[in-house]
């Protein structure tokens, strides 16, 4: 009898032995269906990626099924994306080959995908749609300079590192839409540095989190805080936050100057917050009623931390080792640094006889420490002095992947590229494209449409209308022809950038009120007031210019569209993001009538490289917005 959708197989197996057999049989079917596919920088996006390597993550993910493995050959690749296709578990896993795989960028919009062993400039986990959360994404042993998460469910970042970055948070969790059940385990957050006190560049900036766990990780060279947990505007209040077994080195201001606090919880109504067995080189700051902050069920237990402020704000304190005792079991120690092997060199392991030994709560401590050693007594802080070293789990000998034998194919010829791509209509919410039909040796099945690199629809016709767009916004639109054998034309040769009709003032959403600045001993966290003009959006968010137009790089000039909350003067300042590149001789400025400004950039003004484009808006009454930064790539 078939099992109904959503029902447990065991509901139809009364006896445990029969239930186990049912589960094994079902599990075995999934394993048998799994396949290995291949990606190579010299591959081609055609076929199934099993007999011969394909070229892109996007195409490989489309061919793969739940539980498949995608082996990625060593080498350097351009930016890669995983499309939103609503895939179910088990995850499709992309594995970097020995020898190293470097990506210019990574954008994950799809569900249930694991990426293991990659080095990427950026890692963007965001479906781009508030109604479509990104579910079950894992980054394992990934090194990236910058990571963004929005609208995630069960996101895991395990091992690897995040950083460095200048004048920008290196790990940013957006609060709208909120993310649920986010975990960082064994990650090194490092070198979020700033060049001006007008910006904050926390290593972890977590807004509106609904379940956040950070464990066994290290924070180093983070300005202005190692981590900032809170909310902005209409973000939900953070809840269910756990920090355990982490080492928070001293946060910095500018250069090597130390800042004031290690971690901050502020400007929200927090619920279920636990900081357990961490080592802090500086105090944790908990906001109070003066900043609109409150705490329900908050606990500091088993930590090592300097303590200078009063003990009334924020959590309940238990079994901590601090410079001041605040609660049951706390130990007051005047010199915390003397407990560590070599704190100046970043070694926060405990010395024999340190006050933190056997000082933590035996009823509320992690089972292991940051090194994976079993906690015995246990000790306060991230490390256990006399913990039992776990027996290493033997690494299984990998089964050699057989060299795929090319299978004979009936049709390997791709359709021709659609020509004559033309915009025939544009409203404030839609764009209509028309093109000449492609040809194929067997027959064209249809056309796949893309918007900003994400697939949105297929059609058998030579015309399509993109709907649900924003007024006065530029979109990168593309299409590819495909045949019955899944051969596709070159999408890059049928790509265009088009803009919807301009907004009217009544179309523009009113900005959320900005929270007022709060004076702390730390630098001011916010500079905008309730009356400030706001830069609401910049598109495209990842602009690309080409010094020379090629098949894979299509535009030598582009327009940045900047949306503001009111009429304003918009200024764009461009500076090199690295050691090479040329600074523009003067900032670019444009008026924003009805809240929309357009700034033209041409490739001839730059050398090849990456640039930071800083955008601010000034209202007629003199208020200035917070800066917004986008990264420009010139190829």
pLDDT tens track for 61-104: 999 999 999 999 999 999 999 999 888 999 999 999 998 999 99
Whether 511 shows a pLDDT value over 60: the answer reads no
Whether 24 shows a pLDDT value over 50: the answer reads no
| pLDDT given at position 28 | 42
Range scoring the smallest mean pLDDT among 370-379, 464-473, 554-563 = 554-563
Nearest-angstrom CA–CA distance, 189 and 194:
15
Question: Which is more confidently placed, 33 or 618?
Answer: 618
Residue 422: how many CB atoms within 10 A of its CB? 12
Supply 363's token pair: 């009823």
Is the CB of residue 247 less than 8 Å from the CB of residue 215?
no
Is the CB of residue 152 less than 8 Å from the CB of residue 176?
no
pLDDT tens track for 316-344: 999 999 999 999 999 999 999 999 999 98
Residue 351: how many CB atoms within 10 A of its CB? 13
pLDDT above 90 covers what percent of the chain?
Answer: 49
Which helix (DSSP H) or strand (DSSP E) does residue 57 occupy?
helix 57-63
Question: Which is more confidently placed, 621 or 148?
Answer: 148
Question: Which is more confidently placed, 546 or 316?
Answer: 316
Supply 148's token pair: 């963004």
pTM over 0.85: no
User: What is the chain's mean pLDDT, rounded?
Assistant: 83
What average pLDDT does range 354-367 have in this prediction?
Answer: 96
Whether 306 shows a pLDDT value over 50: the answer reads yes
| pLDDT given at position 31 | 41
pLDDT tens track for 277-299: 999 999 999 988 888 999 999 99
| pLDDT given at position 348 | 96
Q: Quick one: pLDDT band at residue 19, thresholds 50, 70, 90? A: very low
Whether 356 shows a pLDDT value over 90: the answer reads yes
| pLDDT given at position 493 | 85
Q: For the chain, give me the number of helices (H) and strands (E)?
A: 2, 51
Domains of the chain: 1-33 (no CATH), 419-502 (2.60.40.10), 526-634 (2.60.40.2550)
Range scoring the smallest mean pLDDT among 310-319, 426-435, 511-520 = 511-520
| pLDDT given at position 125 | 96
Whether 15 shows a pLDDT value over 60: the answer reads no
Is the CB of residue 260 less than 8 Å from the CB of residue 385?
no
Burial of 400 (0-12, 13-18, 19+ CB in 10 A): exposed
What average pLDDT does range 20-34 have in this prediction?
Answer: 44
Q: Quick one: pLDDT band at residue 578, thresholds 50, 70, 90? A: low
Exposure string over 276-292, b if 16+ CB within 10 A, otherwise e: bbbbbbbbbbbbeeebe
């Amino acid at each position: 009898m078939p099992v109904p959708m959503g029902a447990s197989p065991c509901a139809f197996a009364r006896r445990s032995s029969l239930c186990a057999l049912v589960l094994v049989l079902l599990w075995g079917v999934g394993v048998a269906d799994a396949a290995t596919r291949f990606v190579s920088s010299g591959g081609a996006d055609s076929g199934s990626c099993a007999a011969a390597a394909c070229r892109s993550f996007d195409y490989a993910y489309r061919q793969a099924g739940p539980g498949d493995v995608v082996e990625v050959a060593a080498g350097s690749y351009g930016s890669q994306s995983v499309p939103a296709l609503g895939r179910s578990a088990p995850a499709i896993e992309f594995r970097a080959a020995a020898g190293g795989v470097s990506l210019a960028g990574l954008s994950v919009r799809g569900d249930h995908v694991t990426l293991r062993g990659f080095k990427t400039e950026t890692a963007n986990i965001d479906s781009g749609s508030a109604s479509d959360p990104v579910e079950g994404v894992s980054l394992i042993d990934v090194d990236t300079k910058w990571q963004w998460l929005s609208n995630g469910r069960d996101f895991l970042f395990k091992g690897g590192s995040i950083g460095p970055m200048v004048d920008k948070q290196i790990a940013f969790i957006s609060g709208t839409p909120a993310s649920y059940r986010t975990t960082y385990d064994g990650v090194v957050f490092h070198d979020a540095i700033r060049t001006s006190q007008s910006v904050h560049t926390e290593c972890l900036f977590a807004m509106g989190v609904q379940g956040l766990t950070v464990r066994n990780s290290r924070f180093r060279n983070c300005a202005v805080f190692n981590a900032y947990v809170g909310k902005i505007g209409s973000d939900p209040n953070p809840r269910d936050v756990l920090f355990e077994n982490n080492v928070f080195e001293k946060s910095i201001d500018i250069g090597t100057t130390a800042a004031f606090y290690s971690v901050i919880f502020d400007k929200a109504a927090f619920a279920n917050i636990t900081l357990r067995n961490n080592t802090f080189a500086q105090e944790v700051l908990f906001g109070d009623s003066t900043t609109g902050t409150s705490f329900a069920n908050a606990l500091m237990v088993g930590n090592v931390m300097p303590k200078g402020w009063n003990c009334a704000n924020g959590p309940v304190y238990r079994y901590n080792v601090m410079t001041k005792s605040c609660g049951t079991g706390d130990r007051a120690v005047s010199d915390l640094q003397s407990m560590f092997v070599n704190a100046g060199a970043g070694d926060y392991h405990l010395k024999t006889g340190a006050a933190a030994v056997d000082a933590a709560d035996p009823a509320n401590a992690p089972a292991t420490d940051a090194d994976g050693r079993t906690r015995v007594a246990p000790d306060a802080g991230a490390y256990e002095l006399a913990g039992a070293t776990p027996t290493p789990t033997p690494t299984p000998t990998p089964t050699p992947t057989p060299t795929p034998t090319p299978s004979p194919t009936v049709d390997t010829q791709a359709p021709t590229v659609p020509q004559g791509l033309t915009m025939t209509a544009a409203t404030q919410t839609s764009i209509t494209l028309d093109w000449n039909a492609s040809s194929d040796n067997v027959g064209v099945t249809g056309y796949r449409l893309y918007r900003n690199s994400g697939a949105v629809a297929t059609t058998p016709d030579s015309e399509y209308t993109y709907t649900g767009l924003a007024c006065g916004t530029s979109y990168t639109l593309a299409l590819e022809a495909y045949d019955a054998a899944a051969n596709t034309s070159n999408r890059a040769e049928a790509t265009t950038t088009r803009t919807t009709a301009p907004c009217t003032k009544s179309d523009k959403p009113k900005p959320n009120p900005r929270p007022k600045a709060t004076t702390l001993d730390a630098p001011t966290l916010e500079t905008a007031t309730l009356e400030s003009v706001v830069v609401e959006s910049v598109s495209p968010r990842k602009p690309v210019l080409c010094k020379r137009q090629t098949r894979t790089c299509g535009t030598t000039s582009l327009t940045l569209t900047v949306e503001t909350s009111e009429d304003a003067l918009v200024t764009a300042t461009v500076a090199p993001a690295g050691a090479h590149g040329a600074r523009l001789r003067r900032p670019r400025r444009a008026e924003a009538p009805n809240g929309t400004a357009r700034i033209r950039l041409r490739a001839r003004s730059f050398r090849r490289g990456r640039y930071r484009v800083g955008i601010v808006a000034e209202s007629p009454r003199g208020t200035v917005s917070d800066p917004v930064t986008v990264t420009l790539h010139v190829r």
